[in-house]
Structure 1
C-alpha cells in the first residue's frame, strides 16, 4: 500500500499558512479545523516548514502569552521530512517513528501535494491486516 492510495481515498487537501502569519492565527486554524499541524508554504505551495501543536506548546511554555504574537516562521519546524506518493505505508511509519512526529507532508514536483497523518497510516495498516486475515480464513475454509 502506498501514499498514493491513501491520498486517493482521503484527498489532497492540506491546510497551509504563510510563514509571516502570527502564531495566534495558526492556533485558530488548528482549533477551527480540528487538526494537529499545518504546513507552512510560500506563494507557490513550496514547503518551507511545518507547525505542529507540539511546536506551539514548546513556544508558549517558554514565552507564555507573548508567544501568540510571534510569527509562524519563528516557531515552525523548518527542516521538514517529506514523502512522495510512491512511499509505502511501512516506509512512512518508519519515517514518522524515527522523527517522532505525526504528520508527513507529501511533495510532488517540488510542491505540496497532500499530507498523511499517523491516523491515516494506522487506519490503512489495520485495513490491510483485516483483509489479509479474511483471505487466510477464506483459504482455510476452501482447503
Structure 2
C-alpha cells in the first residue's frame, strides 16, 4: 500500500510571509489544524514548512507574542518530514511514530504538495480492513452453520 492511495488530497497552504492571524483564519475557514507552508513567490508551492494550531497556541499565545507582528515563517516547523505518493504507507507510519508526528505532507516528484497523510487515515484504513476480516469470519460461520443444518 502506498501513501498516495490513502492520503487526503485537499492541501491547504499559506505563504511563509503571511502573518499568523491570516494563518489562523485560514485554518478556521477551512476547518483544519494543519497548513503546509511555501516560500512566497514559489508558483509550485513546494513545502518549506508546516504550521499547526498547536504551534500557534504554544509559540504565540502561551509566549504572549503579537500574532499580527509574527510571520508564519517565525513559528512554523522547518524542513518537515515529507512523503512521496509512491512511498510505502507502512514505512511512513513508522517514521511518523518515531518522530512523534500526526500528519505528513505528501508531495510529487517536483516537491509540489498533493495530499496529507494523517494517523487518522491509517486508523480508518485499519478499521476497514478489520471489518473486512470480521465479515469474512462471520460469513464462514454462516456457511458452516447452513452446511450442518
Q: What residue in structure 1 maps to residue 73 of structure 2?
A: 73
In structure 1, how many angstroms separate the alpha carbons of the residues matched to 2:143 and 2:2? 30
Q: For structure 1, which segment, 64-73 or 34-43, has the greater mean C-alpha deviation from structure 2 after superposition?
A: 64-73
Partner of 2:114: 113
Q: CA deviation at 1:37?
A: 0.5
Contact kept? 1:2, 1:86, Cα under 8 Å = yes
| 1:26 aligned residue | 23
- Once residues 94 and 34 of structure 1 are traced to their aligned partners in structure 2, the CA distance between those partners, rounded to angstroms, is 27
Report the TM-score, using the length of structure 1 for normalisation: 0.85
**Is 1:50 paired with 2:50?**
yes
What RMSD, in angstroms, separates the aligned Cα atoms of the two structures? 2.0
Aligned length: 140
CA contact (8 A) 1:24 1:69 kept: no
Deviations 1:105-138 (CA, angstroms, capped at 9, x unpaired)? 0011122111122222211121112112222333
Secondary structure of 1:48 counterpart: strand
1:36 aligns with 2:37: no
Normalising by structure 2, what TM-score? 0.82
More helix by share: 1
Aligned-partner Cα distance in 1 for 2:85–2:137: 29
Change (3 A) 1:84 1:16: same
Gaps of 5+ in 2: 145-149
CA distance in 1, matches of 2:69, 2:100: 27
How far did 1:65 drift? Answer: 4.5
Structure ID, larger Rg: 2
Contact 1:89 1:125 in 2 (8 A): no
Shift of 1:93: 2.5
**In 2: Cα distance, 1:100 partner to 1:141 partner:** 43
